[in-house]
Amino acid sequence: MLASVFKSALLLAGVSGVAASSQLIQSQLHGFAPAWASGSPPAASAAQSGEISQVLIEWKRLQQSDNYPFSDYANFILAHPGFPGETSRRAAAETVLDSGTFAPGLVMRFFERFPPLTAAGRIRYAEALLASGRRGDAEEQARRAWRSGVLRTADETRLGSTFFSAFTPADHDARTDMLIWRGQTTAATRQLAYVSPSKRAVFDARIAYRTKAVDAAERGAAALAAGRSDPGFIAERATWLRNSGQTSAMRAYLAQPRQLNSYPGDAEAWYEVLLVAARGAAADGQYSLAYDIASQVDDAFPAGTDISDQPYGERDDYTSLTWLAGTAAFERLGRPRDAIGMFERYSK
């Protein structure tokens, strides 16, 4: 019977029954529905069971390496969408592809069906779009790749040489912001000539703080007013204060009420800066400071964001902060109303 043949194929491929989500396998099973409904399950033909087995074997093979040709991943995913591990195989396909002009028809079909997940994928898609005469769409993908921050050296060179004229100061601002969040200060320094003049001092100060420059205090002071609402500046200054032995100043700085002018480029890193400071304050019995630091969790995402949908690291830090703030308010500060607000956030 097909059920036992299908089970054997799954075991042969070393996968669970969830692989049956493939459209090919679904269509194979659908053809036998009338017979099953009549109470007479049919036997699978050798050709049908062999076809299923070959698909599963190929899926298993593609899980073993990130270095197979792009066409191997792309053709399989296009033919059999929905297999387990599809996201990682899409990323592998995007990363291994050397040029968007390689097999442009396949590249276009792949990215039109499965939008890029990685910066490398956006660059390859941009190249394919440009080769297809769709310059406007190509420039949009190029801008998205540029804004993402860290790029492989060859990709950065190729992207810059082909699309640099399409990048605006806002694109350079976004790229520089992400580069600093990722600790890529050399690349960020190269960007300073292209960022918005109003943001240059803030970026320069962030780089100085991150690299522990000897003149970090002076460069930071020059951008203090402009950086008071910038999450990247706040995070870098707080970390620099802590690392330079100014723990009390760091805690007081993070406890101040604020209204950010943008969302952190790296929400997890932002939350970790707050969490280290709040935990330290709580450990030293500074519960009011701990609450003031830990309770400011709502400015990392747009209003209405479902935290449960965010990556684990962000969720974990968010719940740690709200729990710390809630327990400090309830157990140490006698502020049950504030505690309830934090515990409500914790439960989301």
189 vs 316: CA distance, rounded Å: 32
CB burial class (10 A; 0-12, 13-18, 19+) of residue 180? Answer: buried
Q: For residue 102, count other CB atoms closer than 10 A to its CB.
A: 15
CB burial class (10 A; 0-12, 13-18, 19+) of residue 64? Answer: exposed
Determine the pLDDT at residue 169: 97
114 vs 175: CA distance, rounded Å: 24
Summary mean pLDDT of the chain: 89
Q: For residue 23, count other CB atoms closer than 10 A to its CB.
A: 12
312 vs 285: CA distance, rounded Å: 29
Task: Kindly list the distances between the CA atom of residue 27 and the CA atoms of 4, 32, 49, 194, 348, in Å, as whole numbers in the listed order.
Answer: 17, 9, 13, 54, 39
Residue showing tokens 């990215």: 111
Determine the pLDDT at residue 47: 55
119 vs 108: CA distance, rounded Å: 16
Tokens coding 277: 């400071």
Task: Kindly list the distances between the CA atom of residue 130 and the CA atoms of 115, 161, 184, 210, 250, in Å, as whole numbers in the listed order.
Answer: 16, 13, 29, 37, 49
**Tens-digit pLDDT profile for residues 224-275:** 999 999 999 999 999 999 999 999 999 999 999 999 999 999 999 999 999 9
248 vs 346: CA distance, rounded Å: 27
- Which listed CATH number (3.30.1420, 1.25.40, 3.30.1490, 1.10.3470) goes with 228-348? 1.25.40
Please, what are the averages of pLDDT over each run of 10 residues along the chain (348 residues)?
40 42 46 45 54 88 96 96 95 95 92 97 97 96 96 94 97 98 97 98 99 98 98 99 98 98 98 99 99 98 96 98 99 98 95
**Tens-digit pLDDT profile for residues 292-308:** 999 999 999 999 999 99
- 134 near 141, Cβ under 8 Å? no
Residue showing tokens 């291994």: 96
Going by C-alpha positions, the residue among 297, 263, 273, 243 that lies closest to residue 177 is: 263
Going by C-alpha positions, the residue among 180, 202, 186, 176 that lies closest to residue 261 is: 202
Determine the pLDDT at residue 17: 40
Alpha carbons within 13 A on the beta-carbon side of 272:
9
Going by C-alpha positions, the residue among 277, 255, 211 that lies closest to residue 203 is: 211
Going from N- to C-terminal start, the domains of the chain cover 228-348
Determine the pLDDT at residue 341: 98
Alpha carbons within 13 A on the beta-carbon side of 129:
21
Determine the pLDDT at residue 50: 67
Determine the pLDDT at residue 102: 84
